[in-house]
Amino acid sequence: MIKIEDLSVSFQGRTAVEHVSFSIEPGEIIGIVGESGSGKSVTALTLMGLLAEQASVDSGRVTFDDTVLLEAGRSIDKRLLQKFQGSRMSMVFQEPMTSLNPTMKVGKQVEEVLQLHTELKGEEARKKVLSIFDEVGLKNSDMVYESYPHQLSGGMRQRVMIAMALILEPELIIADEPTTALDVTIQAQIIALLKEINKRHHNAMLFITHDLNLAKTLASKIMVMHHGQIVETGTPEEIFTNPQDDYTKMLISAVPQRKKRTCNNAAQRNQKSSAAKGLKSFEEDEDNRKSIAEQIIENLQNVEKEHQEQCVQNGSREILRVSDLDVFYKEGNNSLFGGKKKKQVVNGADFSIYEGEVLGLVGESGCGKTSLSRAILGLNQNYSGQIQHFTERPQMIFQDPYSSLNPAKTIGWLLEEPLRVQKVGKDDRKQAAMEMLAKIGLDETYYRRKPSELSGGQRQRISIGQALITRPHFVIADEPVSALDVTIQAQIMDLMMNLKEEMGLSYLFISHDINIVYQISDRIMVMKDGTIIEMGETEELFSNPREEYTKILLA
């Protein structure tokens, strides 16, 4: 139905998409997977005819049925594209807050699409909008119709966007990261909705995402893009079981998966090998089976005891104890005469962190996990209950490396600042900064650079270095990898694990992504609406979650 042949797009001489060809048939869902800057969004925008003016189509063409929409060397026919936009193909954007007009009721916004493309007016148009709202699963469609975007939740807004894209029953829907800005549970609902729509209307869908797992659940065909080229195409099964391209392989291995972690504990390794040995002699020596079996059991018990003792040795020292903690947020205006309201965001948190331990904290946005960490760090003093630190101040690794590093300073200055505060001498500071650069995998030339010259992953390394330069025992990491591409994510996680072993750190690791938390944590806490609803050993929690909410997160 839609064919893209040999498409190349460049921005002022920089190639964004290179010789891309593919076609989409009705009923098909194609997933384009790639990291930021891989050209996946540019491909979609070209298809929609929404390219920026600086962009130029260098080769190839786009055909819809038999109409040529776009061809290299021909000026863009805006009239023709307009006829296709909205009515025969439409788009769902990533950020539902900014893609809706904040000053207009959402019902009117959807209705506007109808008025532009059809003859429907007044009551009829309204009815049509309400019915489409029902179809995308918006309950109380009357109320939603009369709402402004800020009155709706993120998931509802995205449903409105989908309704808008769907209302003219287009043959092609392009969804550009439609769930990236949403929480995990909402994400799953939107994906299910898209799938259902595809089944019911039998339209084609182009699904663009950086998340390979998401593409796997939704798409019937996956294309992997890298540096503007399609490096691999195949069904999800083919891509996951037998990836051909090196980049795809890397992408798949970087996806956080719930495979068993390699056992690092010496006692557990001993246990494994002695059990294996015992098993071998058990098989070979038929006469003494009973005594061998007893021996194995005894061995195992010893090992278990040893393990426990080690654990106690390693982890007996409490580093942080939080008891019965309520955290509040001051609401209302900060003015002289304005009243102040207190809003409770964390409700009776009660836990401890032990030396050398990684405690994971999982929850969706707005559940209070960041407020909890801010209270522990002393950034928010509005709390009741107790926070006891048994070591020095905790340090923090921030989520967004673009705002956590002072853009006016050099990397060297930034790394040295914590030491400067502690009145460490100039030469010692510089030496410590150089050592830290080596530790975080950057060379000495970075000392004089500014944050603006670094990539996101490099910045996050600096942020980690800055947190660790004072050799703290306890570090809070608030979504340290969620702003990064998947392959970079894996590198940063590795770095954090290595530094933990090397420096004997404890982490409070906060994330919305339970798979990432799984990779690194010894224990996990699940938080919902300000309350810690479940806490347990990682394996235990994964294999046997008690709460319904945890099960949803794990699904």
Partner 1 sequence: MKRKHHLKLNKYLVAGGIMTAVMVILAIVGTFWTPYSTTTMSAAEKFAAPSLHHIMGTDNFGRDIFSRVMKGLGTTMMVGTLVVVAAGAVGILVGALTGFFGGWIDEVMMRINDAINGFPSILLSLVVISVLGMGRQNVILALSIVFIPSFVRIVRSEYIRLRDMEFVNSARIMGVSKMRILFVHILPNILSVFSISMMIGFNNAILAESGMSYLGIGVQPPDASLGKMLSDAQGYMFTAPWYALSAGVTIVVLVLGISLLGEGIRRCSND
Contacts with partner 1 by CB under 8 A lie at: 334-336, 377-379, 393-396, 398-400, 403-409, 417-418, 421-422, 450, 452-453, 463, 466, 470
Q: Which is nearer to partner 1, 88 or 374 (CB)?
A: 374
Shortest CB 463 distance to partner 1, Å: 8
**Parallel/antiparallel/unpaired status of strands 531-537 and 29-33:** unpaired
Helix (H) or strand (E) holding 90: strand 89-92
Which positions ≥6 away from 55 have C-beta within 8 Å? 9, 10, 11, 16, 42, 46
Cα 503 from chain centroid (whole Å): 27
Distance CA 394, CA 380 (A): 14
> Would you tell me how many other CB atoms lie within 10 Å of the CB of residue 66?
6
Distance from chain centroid for Cα 19: 30
Closest approach, Cβ 147 to partner 1, in A, equals: 29
Task: Write out the E strands in 442-547.
Answer: 474-478, 506-511, 523-528, 531-537
Give me the residue label for tokens 């903690």.
325
Of 172, 207, 162, the closest CA to residue 63 belongs to 172
Minimum separation from the CB atom of position 377 to partner 1 (A): 6
Nearer to partner 1, 125 or 396 (CB): 396
Alpha carbons within 13 angstroms on the beta-carbon side of residue 337 total 0
Q: Give min distance, CB of 477 to partner 1, in A.
A: 12
Give the CA distances from residue 286 to residues 229, 283, 289, 293, in Å, rounded to whole numbers and listed in that order: 62, 7, 6, 11
Minimum Å gap between C-beta 504 and partner 1 is 20
5 or 400: whose CB is closer to partner 1? 400
**C-alpha span between 171 and 163 (Å, rounded):** 14
Q: Which is nearer to partner 1, 196 or 453 (CB)?
A: 453
- Between residues 132 and 405, which has the closer beta carbon with respect to partner 1? 405
In 110-181, beta strands by DSSP E = 172-176
Closer by beta carbon to partner 1, 480 or else 530: 480
Query: Can you tell me the distance from the alpha carbon of 481 to that of 398, in angstroms, rounded to the nearest whole number?
Result: 9
Closest approach of partner 1 to the CB of residue 440, in Å: 16
Residue type, 163: A
Closest distance between partner 1 and the C-beta of residue 190, in Å? Answer: 29
Tokens of 340: 């102040």
Q: Closest CB to partner 1 among 88 and 473? A: 473
Shortest distance in whole angstroms from residue 95 CB to partner 1: 20
Rounded to the nearest 10 degrees, the angle between the axes of helix 411-421 and helix 426-439 is 120
Contacts of 246 (CB under 8 A, 6+ apart): none
- Nearer to partner 1 (CB atom), residue 405 or residue 495: 405
Q: Which is nearer to partner 1, 90 or 460 (CB)?
A: 460
Q: How far is the CB of 398 from partner 1 (least distance, A)?
A: 5
Closest to 483 in 3D by CA, of 402, 542, 412, 422: 402
